[in-house]
Chain A
């Protein structure tokens, strides 16, 4: 469970997130929607502290994951990022073999035994339905795969470090509709085991796969509710305008 209380984020002088209060429930898909620049990706990057890499970022308020404050000074950043994994917009596989891509995380975490590594790799590829297709060619360069398979591979690479929460930053925006449908199907499968937070431009996508949806505008969380409620009977006029396509 992720819970934020009065979360504010500044990039130098720019107030990027304003007083965000929300609770993301376990083992559900939560989608954040809103027009470009509304802060939804920034919010996502709060949860695994990727914003720390950007100079001049300042955060106030509490962000709790399973009741632990993830911004305490003594927090182990790498351990947090192991628990809270991220899938990026572009399927950025490393220019390594398929096997080395998936085993990168576990290796960083100190697993060096060949047998253990290949078990992890097989398990992770299986979870994203790639194992049968790729069996026997794990030594091939990952960059030769199709974009959709590359994105699956990125998800497998993430699952290999056994995270609890998956953050997905527009994971389908580089894919065609058929590949998108496959990745969406995968997400629905994965929510049995993981808490998923997805940022998306695509409202139909949010409506199709999310259990709960948050609508953001200019750094504020306008509305957060069950998907059916947001898309059929939103409480806020701005949400209604956005989902009916009047702006954004």
Chain B
């Protein structure tokens, strides 16, 4: 029997882990480069600023850019306070008992639900029952429900990781529960909470199935929350699916990826600013 030297095992383990990491990065880079290669020549000032013409065969994608940003923004504005609020309730007000486990389990199940289910629900509930029609409102609310579990779970983890000593000190200075949460716990947990919000934005902005049922696919420039709109992801899907224009489809995908990269970049910069301020 031959024996492998410990040092050799180390080298093998290191190489395997390095290879795995490399594969992850390589896939990401490949996808981005592939989309960019096909889409970058479509990018022009007029593509970004012109209304869409002939179902997307001609013209730009300005209505879709505006629609995407509005739907996403609306869903984040709704989901963040509800999500962070529930996370505070779960971590600070329930003492790890059955309620917390049930709610956490529910949130996890909700997070794993296929987005088309949310789409169908949003269609029946918001669009038809509440008569909101295909609109930014319906789409935003549906997306808010969809990203809620992500925000709850990440905020919960962030709040749980705030050292208990901080709470004790706040109480020992005569601080009440609410003072402690607002002035000490939340600011300390902010970077983690922001991570959850960023993940939520990422999910919402790139969603297709849930918004096609709820926000519709109108190519007009949205004028109010009740306007129907076609988000970039949906526009891309329709252009490619119905064979309207592959170049325009790649162009749209490129714009969507650039927007997502930009949002992540800004969010991480913001986060870094919060973290490095007092640490």
Tell me the A residues contacting B by CB distance below 8 Å.
48, 50, 53, 55, 78-79, 81-82, 85-86, 88, 90, 92, 94-97, 104-105, 107-109, 141-143, 154, 157-158, 161
- The answer for the CA separation of A48 and B169 in the assembled complex, in Å, is 12
Whether B165 contacts A105 by the Cβ 8 Å rule is: no
What is the number of residues of chain B that contact chain A, defined by CB distance less than 8 Å? 21
- The answer for the CA separation of A169 and B45 in the assembled complex, in Å, is 66
B6 interface contact, C-beta 8 A: no
Residues of the B chain whose Cβ atoms lie less than 8 Å from the Cβ of A158: 172-173
Contact with A along B182-223 (1 / 0, CB 8 A): 011001100000000000000000000000000000000000
- The answer for the CA separation of A161 and B175 in the assembled complex, in Å, is 11
Whether A94 contacts B184 by the Cβ 8 Å rule is: yes
Q: A92-B163, A96-B278, A141-B277 are in contact. List 7 more A-B contacts (CB 8 A).
A: A55-B95, A78-B174, A88-B172, A95-B278, A108-B173, A108-B174, A108-B183
B108 interface contact, C-beta 8 A: no
Residues of the A chain whose Cβ atoms lie less than 8 Å from the Cβ of B187: 95-96
Q: How far is the CB of B184 from chain A (nearest CB, A)?
A: 6
Given that A95-B188, A143-B278 are known contacts, is A82 also in contact with B169, CB under 8 Å in the complex? no
Contact with A along B258-279 (1 / 0, CB 8 A): 0000000000000000000111
Whether B166 contacts A92 by the Cβ 8 Å rule is: yes
B171 interface contact, C-beta 8 A: yes
Q: What's the dominant secondary structure at chain B's contact region? A: helix
Whether B173 contacts A95 by the Cβ 8 Å rule is: no
Residues of the B chain whose Cβ atoms lie less than 8 Å from the Cβ of A96: 187, 278
- The answer for the CA separation of A165 and B57 in the assembled complex, in Å, is 78
How many A-B Cβ pairs are below 8 Å?
70
Whether B279 contacts A81 by the Cβ 8 Å rule is: no
Given that A92-B163, A94-B184 are known contacts, is A85 also in contact with B173, CB under 8 Å in the complex? yes
Q: How far is the CB of B166 from chain A (nearest CB, A)?
A: 6
Residues of the B chain whose Cβ atoms lie less than 8 Å from the Cβ of A92: 163, 165-166, 169
Residues of the A chain whose Cβ atoms lie less than 8 Å from the Cβ of B277: 141
Whether A53 contacts B168 by the Cβ 8 Å rule is: yes
- The answer for the CA separation of A90 and B168 in the assembled complex, in Å, is 12
Residues of the B chain whose Cβ atoms lie less than 8 Å from the Cβ of A85: 172-173
Contact with A along B140-177 (1 / 0, CB 8 A): 00000000000000000000000101101111111110
Question: Max chain A CB contacts within 10 Å: which of B168, B174, B175, B187?
Answer: B174
Q: How far is the CB of B227 from chain A (nearest CB, A)?
A: 44
Residues of the B chain whose Cβ atoms lie less than 8 Å from the Cβ of A50: 168, 171-172
- The answer for the CA separation of A96 and B175 in the assembled complex, in Å, is 16
Whether B165 contacts A88 by the Cβ 8 Å rule is: yes
- The answer for the CA separation of A85 and B184 in the assembled complex, in Å, is 18
Whether A78 contacts B165 by the Cβ 8 Å rule is: no
29 sampled A-B residue pairs with Cβ under 8 A? A50-B168, A53-B168, A55-B95, A79-B174, A81-B171, A81-B174, A82-B173, A82-B174, A85-B173, A88-B169, A90-B165, A92-B163, A92-B165, A92-B169, A95-B279, A96-B278, A104-B170, A104-B173, A104-B184, A108-B173, A108-B174, A109-B174, A141-B279, A142-B278, A143-B278, A154-B169, A157-B169, A158-B173, A161-B173
